[in-house]
Copies of this chain bind each other. A is one copy, B any other.
Amino acid sequence: MRFPAILRANEAGEGDQNGPLPEGQRVGFAVVAMGRLSVEQILPAFAHSRKAKLAALVSGFPEKLHVLGRQYGLGADRLFGYEAFEKLASVDDVRVVYIVLPNSMHKEFVLRSAAIGKHVLCEKPMATNSQDAGTMITACKSENLKLMIAYRCRYQPHHRELIRRVQSHEFGPVKLVEAVNAQNQGDPNQWRLRKALSGGGSLPDIGLYGLNAARATLGEEPVEIQAQLSSTPNDPRFREVEESVVWTMRFPSGALAALSTSYGTHRGSRMAVHMDEASLILDHAFPYHGQRLSLVRARDGLETETIIDVPANDQFALEIDHMADCVLNDRAPDTPGEEGLRDMQLMADVYQAAQSGTRLQL
């Protein structure tokens, strides 16, 4: 179905006329763990999806299953405790398991998913260490199942436009990349601040976004890393995990990156890519919404800054739809397990560089 344009041809596009897939053709997902992220973001995102549907819930809290099952129209036969996870095997229209558990539990459930023949979408960071990440990849590979890591920003339209423009080389080579992602963590008792559960502090939870975005934007892997950590002494939030990290990386092209993250400051989230002839700036780079892309350059002898109004969508819906599309068309995700493993290794390198105080050659 195509409608003629209402506006003149020189105006911006008028909207997307692609309808959603009918329910019956969509890929069913089981979501595992009903914490804040699932309830506030992921479950609602299925309504914005075009190719995926919510088909089952897994939680350790029967009351949550009851309430959410009612809200989302899922009967008792689609609600499972952790111990009954394997019963998903026989829910035919569940083709993907979306794992939203604390990081330390990712491995167990990826392995259990693989064992019952389900594809996996796993939240980032992929695991709490590279060894687990490798095990997870092998488990899915050996069953010929897809494993995608939920790097939602990689499916976000502003990020994709940024990457497209940088890699078009229309502004010459990249020389510097800056990225920061920071927020002010509250409750000292949340699992993100327990190292055994999270694997680390600000770095794997939010600093990871800048790391991944820098690699994706440059389309290169870093060859050198240096890092420094800091935690406020006696702050009960940072007994086990780091508060702040600053780190720098060199890439084969000669590009340098300066990145930072913190669990102890007001929200800050931005990425800047400085090229020969222009800079691309992504403000509000990594939150769930509010991305703003601007292009800074000189034109006709005058400095200009152009905000490019990229149409946005629910980030989780885009990510889920990418996974659904991979299943429907049997193709590899843009952010497979190997991408998650690469970041796990690099984060281990960041920690090692910080501890040793020396530059790591990769």
Residues of chain A at the chain B interface (Cβ within 8 Å): 1, 3-17, 19-24, 35-36, 39-41, 43-44, 47-48, 64, 67-68, 70-73, 171, 173, 175-176, 178, 180, 182-187, 190, 192, 224, 226-228, 230-233, 243-248, 250, 254-260, 262, 264-268, 270, 272, 274-279, 288-290, 296-299, 301-312, 357-359
Contact = CB atoms under 8 A, between A and B. Distances in A.
Nearest to A21: B71
25 contacts: A6-B192, A7-B184, A10-B184, A11-B267, A12-B298, A15-B40, A16-B40, A17-B39, A20-B44, A23-B73, A175-B244, A176-B246, A176-B268, A180-B274, A226-B227, A228-B250, A233-B254, A246-B256, A258-B259, A262-B274, A268-B279, A268-B296, A270-B272, A302-B311, A303-B309
B14 A40 contact: yes
Contacts of A312: 289
Given A176-B246, A250-B230, A39 B274 contact: no
Identical copies of this chain, number: 4
Given A13-B302, A22-B71, A244-B256, 8 more contacts: A6-B185, A7-B184, A12-B301, A175-B232, A175-B265, A178-B260, A228-B256, A304-B307
Contact of A357 (B48, B72, B262, B358): B358
Contact of A256 (B230, B256, B357): B230
A101 B240 CA distance: 53
A306 B302 CA distance: 12
